[in-house]
Structure 1
Amino acid sequence: METYQEKISLLQEMIAFALIDGQLHDREYDFIEMIAQELEVDKKTMLKLYDKKAEKVVIKDEISRICQFYRLALLMHVDGVLHEKENKKINEIGINMGLNPYAMKRVLHLMKKSPTRMIDGNVLMAAFHEQLN
């Protein structure tokens, strides 16, 4: 389980990612708010994060890094518009997290093919673990 500071860092990263295309869409905001609720971060704290510069906290375990990558990928698709800046940034973030670039590419491809832009958790984990073999 993430510490409170890790949760704040995850949300800050999501906010920065949502703003990469120069605007925050309502659906992106709603998605970030939903994640904040899931992480048990109150709305007042979440709103303050839009004004703060992100303080990076390194995510230690691989499953948490994969989950954060997937959250960012969902956020990337939530507004229905896929920007080139978002695509470049998500790959940069994933590499900085130490995730396998081929697995990231596979996950993004599977999401693009999915009508809901979502993939099953087992498929997500399998994409990253098949690269280990």
Structure 2
Amino acid sequence: MPTNKEKLSILSEMISFAKGNNGVKESEYNFLFLVAQQLQVSKKIFDALFSSNVEHIIPKSQSERLLQFHRLVLLMNVDDAQDINDFKLIYDIGLKMGLPPGAIQQVLSIMHKYPNKVVPPEVLISIFKSHYN
């Protein structure tokens, strides 16, 4: 389980990503709040993240990085209104986390083959495993 600082960093990064395309839509807010609940972050603290700066911490383990990348992909597709900037931003975030560029690209290109563009976790893991071997 991530530390409190890491939880706030995870949420802050996701909020920043959601704000990137003309503000946070209700569907995005609801998704973000679900993630906050999973991370056991109170609504008060969660809401405060929309107007505060939090130190960005790259997740330590590979599995935590993949989970965060998957969350971002899900967030990008919540409102079904992606644009080229979303793809570039999520690609750059993945690179900063140390994820293989080819795997990031593959996930972003195959997500269109799945209902609601939700790449199943086992597919995502298998893509990244193949790029690490």
TM range (shorter): over 0.9
- Give the structure 2 partner of residue 31 of structure 1: 31
The TM-score normalised by the length of structure 1 is: 0.95
Alignment deviations for residues 27-83 of structure 1 (CA, whole Å, 9 cap, x no partner)? 100000000001100100000000012311121101100110110011011111012
User: Does the residue aligned with 2:81 lie in a helix, a strand or coil?
Assistant: coil
Equivalent-residue separation in structure 2 for 1:52 and 1:71 (angstroms): 21
AA in 2 matched with 1:33 = F
Equivalent-residue separation in structure 2 for 1:26 and 1:111 (angstroms): 23
- Give the structure 1 partner of residue 81 of structure 2: 81
- Give the structure 2 partner of residue 46 of structure 1: 46
Identity score, percent: 38
Alignment RMSD, CA only?
1.0
Unaligned 5+ segments in structure 1 are: none
User: Does the residue aligned with 2:117 lie in a helix, a strand or coil?
Assistant: coil
1:1-80 maps to which residues of 2 (within 5 A)?
1-80=1-80
Which 10-residue stretch deviates more, 79-88 or 38-47?
A: 79-88
Equivalent-residue separation in structure 2 for 1:39 and 1:91 (angstroms): 24
Which 10-residue stretch deviates more, 38-47 or 111-120?
A: 111-120
State the 1:120 CA deviation: 2.0
Unaligned 5+ segments in structure 2 are: none
